[in-house]
Chains A and B, each alone.
Chain A
Amino acid sequence: MTRSQSATMTDSEDPILSVRDLQTVFYTDNETVRAVDSISFDVGRGETVGIVGESGSGKSVTARSIMGLIESPGKVLPESSISFAGRELTDLSAEQYQSVRGSGIGMVFQDPQQSLNPVYTVGNQIRESLKINRDITGEEAVEEAMRLLQAVGIPDAKRRLDEYPNQFSGGMRQRAVIAMMLACDPDFLICDEPTTALDVTIQAQILDLLKELQEERGLSILFITHDMGVIADIADRVNVMYAGQIVEKAAVEDLFSNPQHPYTKALLRSIPGEHSRADGLETIEGQVPTPNEPADHCRFAPRCPKSFGACDKVPPQHVSVGDSEGHTASCLLYPDDQSETARVETHIEKESERTEEQP
């Protein structure tokens, strides 16, 4: 029900977040690491968009780039565009960014322990956030902080306000962090592996909470995880990342029922899940490469069972795949109704179009 709702909402309105050609690079002494290499995606209002990938695929750098948290030696290249609610974020000064972070975008990190200051009470930290971002102080702030803790499902909220983070359990801490985020009354939440450090039963509680909050407050969520199960549970649309690039985009149902990119297929098959032991577990040979050279080829090619000659020379572009609208993959095997040469031609053409568009 939330899914169909959000689908219609995205049709009628502009997306709340629109990322175009985002490139984040890290300069080191001997190489340039293209941690995020020309990715584009949208997040519609009230929608949950997932980014899934293995470690080193660039998903967290994407989140940090949006939040303006990239520090030297990292840099968001000037061709990149991040537009939030119609406002271009890449041009903002540090102070201006601060106001966006305070009131527009909230972020929940993986480890709640590190997002909370151990020497202040939880109530203190929520009140601080209320003071800075919404200018609420005194008795009113205490009331509001209590309401927020109740909203994230912490029982006996008033007493909990006077406790320190170490007196909270892991799940409670993550709830408290979410309450702190809500204190800034954001429209958009970036969740970077918010449940990875938690047990499954607690993870289930937090996922339910996020869905509830989304419904109540009309939040848009960018959800980053490595866990395909969590993505299936929470996301409306999914972007699969590999070595700094998005290799496949699809509505969540399509991605799981009809994956197209060889990497997505292999990734889904390597989850133990329901496989019986007799079938054996599929593995992907080799390792995720460090994206330290320009993307003039397919980065998955060396590990791809279906790669052919052109894969090492032509950078694949996103083309429509599958049967549903909005399902794209960047792979030279598609569009699959064309011959091999025609497919390669299509990708070369698309690439030159894309580079011409850029200023």
Chain B
Amino acid sequence: MSNTLEQSPPTEESETLIEVEGLKKYYGGEGMFSDPPVKAVDGVSFEIKRGETLGLVGESGCGKSTLGRTLLALEIATEGSIIYDGTDITGLSGTELKEWRKNAQMVFQDPESSLNDRMTVGEIIREPLDAHSWKTMTDRRERVLDLLSAVGLPDKHYFRYPHQFSGGQRQRIGIARALALEPDFLVLDEPVSALDVSVQAKIIRLLEDLQEDFNLTYLLIAHDLSVVRYISDRVAVMYLGKIMEKGETEEVFSNASNPYTQSLLSAIPEPDPSAASQRITLSGTPPSPSDAPAGCNLSTRCPAKIRPEAYADADRDLWQAIERFREVVRERARVALSLGDRVRRRFNRFDRFDDIEDSRADTFDGVEVPERVDQQIETAVEMVKRGEPMEAQQHLYTEFASVCDHERPEMHEVSVSGRQSYCHRHTDEYEDVEPVISRRADNE
């Protein structure tokens, strides 16, 4: 098979194929009066070496697909650089860009919607060749037949239509199409998440074989951590547009440093009922990427969040209640007030938020609240009732915020192999992540 599909020799003997530096992708927010931009990717840096697989994991909405698309110049980067084999592709356009695209292709998640049902399998796989006017028609046909056999489909499928195939076979067609122009680099966007486990295993195997035969470099985007662990050499973990931790796969999985990575890993249900699961549950849901916290991205949910000095010894339940209450107020601050509401507020007639009392009672139910805290909460509740949740949010922030809320952490190197993690706790000033999480879990 490798005789017929010859790979062009590497143009340069460099180890690094792709180097991404400070990449940002924002949507909207350009106009003077527009809402704040959606920060889908918010300053990420990493590199991918030739022939390796970088796994990119994260929950939905964390920006991993946007990152993948931006790498292929399907989205225009807002800021930062993507150096591919020595060229900054963020500056390419027109014919240069089209020429470059031969190097980098994509395999999509959903094999149902990523194939045109009105084209035969042969036409689908041939389309990239046609688009780039590759050699002659006869050559293209030859090439398609070679590709079919490379992904394990018989020649006779050339004239069939996608609906005649199962999910796994359709994904094979998608992979063959991505390989048509002999790319060096493939972005695999959730290539197996729509498939059953037994089929999934076959596609993973195929991807491994192809990587070896054609010396491919992969960026594997997935939310299924077991797949990523199995196939990747290195892993980057994303949350809300930021890379939280990156490093060698086994190291990240067995010895994670970042609180988010630890929570994410502990949340995977293991196919082993006897496994003693020490699950670290992240509270709440991720904030919207247009309203990310000012400090660390994880500060609204972090299980190892640094507390302000004054509350370092506060009871765990009390502290959780305070954090929950801050979340409630933060949510209220996002509710847009109507004109009528504003008028009522002007005349002290505003009562739409009076039910904050209920939420307060519910949040602090069964928790002993010291006087100092109670006063602060009382002030905040009054502000919310007056229709000024923003002010209440600010008030609570002044009292209860810590370094995690107001300062962005830095990427710290956390192991000899160069693994990096984005957290304040890796500085000498604060206690490390591990003991804090286990102590807080023990208190339960």
Given contacts A200-B59, A200-B223, A281-B205, contact A158 B359 (CB under 8 A): yes
Cα distance, A199 to B86, chains bound together (Å): 37
**Interchain nearest-CB distance for A91 vs B (Å):** 36
Q: Encode A243-275 as 1/0 by CB contact (under 8 A) with B.
A: 000000000110011000000001110111101
Stretch at the interface among B5-13, B270-278, B369-377, B425-433: B270-278
Tell me the A55-70 residues at the B interface (CB within 8 Å): 55
Q: Does B95 contact A (CB under 8 A)?
A: no
**Interchain nearest-CB distance for B335 vs A (Å):** 8
Cα distance, A170 to B332, chains bound together (Å): 19
Q: Does A165 contact B (CB under 8 A)?
A: no
Determine whether the beta carbon of A199 is less than 8 Å from that of B59. yes
Determine whether the beta carbon of A201 is less than 8 Å from that of B358. no
Given contacts A155-B359, A283-B201, contact A275 B230 (CB under 8 A): yes
Cα distance, A212 to B74, chains bound together (Å): 45
Q: Does B227 contact A (CB under 8 A)?
A: yes
Cα distance, A229 to B202, chains bound together (Å): 20
Q: Which of B168, B264, B270, B359 contacts A156 (CB under 8 A)? A: B359
Q: Encode A128-170 as 1/0 by CB contact (under 8 A) with B.
A: 0000000000000000001000100001111100000000011
Q: Which of B230, B273, B332, B362 contacts A272 (CB under 8 A)? A: B230
Stretch at the interface among A202-210, A213-221, A317-325, A351-359: A202-210
Nearest opposing residue in chain B for A255, CB measure: B273
Given contacts A156-B331, A156-B332, A157-B362, contact A270 B270 (CB under 8 A): no
Q: Encode B321-335 as 1/0 by CB contact (under 8 A) with A.
A: 000100110011001
Determine whether the beta carbon of A202 is less than 8 Å from that of B285. yes
Task: Point out the residues of chain A lying under 8 angstroms from B270, CB to CB.
Answer: 229, 232-233, 273
Task: Tell me the count of chain A residues lying within 8 A, CB to CB, of chain B.
Answer: 51
Stretch at the interface among B129-137, B192-200, B406-414, B436-444: B192-200
Task: Point out the residues of chain B lying under 8 angstroms from A293, CB to CB.
Answer: none
Given contacts A54-B196, A54-B198, contact A256 B272 (CB under 8 A): yes
Nearest opposing residue in chain B for A159, CB measure: B355
Which of A54, A155, A253 neighbours the largest number of chain B CB atoms within 10 Å of its CB? Answer: A155
Determine whether the beta carbon of A157 is less than 8 Å from that of B267. no
Q: Does A230 contact B (CB under 8 A)?
A: yes
Task: Point out the residues of chain B lying under 8 angstroms from A172, CB to CB.
Answer: 285
Cα distance, A257 to B272, chains bound together (Å): 8
Q: Does B166 contact A (CB under 8 A)?
A: yes
Determine whether the beta carbon of B328 is less than 8 Å from that of A155. yes
Tell me the B249-280 residues at the A interface (CB within 8 Å): 263-264, 266-275, 277, 279
Q: Which of B223, B279, B281, B358 contacts A199 (CB under 8 A)? A: B223
Q: Does B231 contact A (CB under 8 A)?
A: yes
Determine whether the beta carbon of B267 is less than 8 Å from that of A270. no
**Interchain nearest-CB distance for A318 vs B (Å):** 22
Task: Point out the residues of chain A lying under 8 angstroms from B272, CB to CB.
Answer: 232, 256
Is the interface on chain B under 10, 10 to 19, 20 to 34, or 35 or more residues?
35 or more
Cα distance, A32 to B423, chains bound together (Å): 59
Q: Does B363 contact A (CB under 8 A)?
A: yes
Q: Does B114 contact A (CB under 8 A)?
A: no
Q: Does A341 contact B (CB under 8 A)?
A: no
Determine whether the beta carbon of B269 is less than 8 Å from that of A227. yes
Q: Does B116 contact A (CB under 8 A)?
A: no
Nearest opposing residue in chain B for A198, CB measure: B60
Q: Does A92 contact B (CB under 8 A)?
A: no
**Interchain nearest-CB distance for A327 vs B (Å):** 14
Nearest opposing residue in chain A for B224, CB measure: A272
Task: Point out the residues of chain A lying under 8 angstroms from B324, CB to CB.
Answer: 155
Q: Which of A146, A226, A230 contacts B269 (CB under 8 A)? A: A230
Determine whether the beta carbon of B271 is less than 8 Å from that of A273. yes
Which of A55, A199, A275, A280 neighbours the largest number of chain B CB atoms within 10 Å of its CB? Answer: A199
Q: Encode A279-301 as 1/0 by CB contact (under 8 A) with B.
A: 01111100110000000000000
Cα distance, A226 to B167, chains bound together (Å): 16
Tell me the B320-369 residues at the A interface (CB within 8 Å): 324, 327-328, 331-332, 335, 353, 355, 358-359, 362-363
Task: Point out the residues of chain A lying under 8 angstroms from B196, CB to CB.
Answer: 54-55, 226, 288
Tell me the B5-26 residues at the A interface (CB within 8 Å): none
Q: Encode B166-181 as 1/0 by CB contact (under 8 A) with A.
A: 1010000000000000
Tell me the B391-433 residues at the A interface (CB within 8 Å): none
Q: Does B225 contact A (CB under 8 A)?
A: yes
Nearest opposing residue in chain A for B352, CB measure: A159
Task: Point out the residues of chain A lying under 8 angstroms from B284, CB to CB.
Answer: 155
Task: Point out the residues of chain A lying under 8 angstroms from B153, CB to CB.
Answer: none
Q: Which of B201, B274, B355, B363 contacts A282 (CB under 8 A)? A: B201
Cα distance, A234 to B273, chains bound together (Å): 9
Determine whether the beta carbon of A252 is less than 8 Å from that of B331. no
Tell me the B171-223 residues at the A interface (CB within 8 Å): 196-202, 204-205, 208, 223
Q: Does A171 contact B (CB under 8 A)?
A: yes
Cα distance, A234 to B284, chains bound together (Å): 21
Q: Does A228 contact B (CB under 8 A)?
A: yes
Task: Point out the residues of chain A lying under 8 angstroms from B281, CB to CB.
Answer: 201, 204-205, 208
Determine whether the beta carbon of B269 is less than 8 Å from that of A159. no
Cα distance, A146 to B355, chains bound together (Å): 11
Q: Does A306 contact B (CB under 8 A)?
A: no
Determine whether the beta carbon of B231 is less than 8 Å from that of A256. no
> Which of B's residues lie within 8 Å of A, judged by CB?
59-60, 166, 168, 196-202, 204-205, 208, 223, 225-227, 229-231, 263-264, 266-275, 277, 279, 281-282, 284-285, 324, 327-328, 331-332, 335, 353, 355, 358-359, 362-363
> Which of A's residues lie within 8 Å of B, judged by CB?
54-55, 146, 150, 155-159, 169-172, 199-205, 207-208, 226-234, 252-253, 256-257, 266-268, 270-273, 275, 277, 280-284, 287-288
| 9 A-B pairs with least C-beta separation | A229-B269, A272-B230, A199-B59, A233-B269, A204-B267, A228-B271, A54-B196, A270-B201, A158-B355
30 contacts between A and B (CB under 8 A): A54-B197, A54-B198, A155-B328, A156-B328, A156-B332, A159-B335, A159-B359, A199-B223, A201-B264, A204-B269, A204-B279, A204-B281, A204-B282, A205-B281, A208-B279, A226-B197, A228-B197, A230-B269, A232-B270, A232-B275, A233-B273, A271-B271, A272-B227, A273-B270, A277-B231, A281-B201, A281-B205, A282-B201, A283-B205, A287-B168
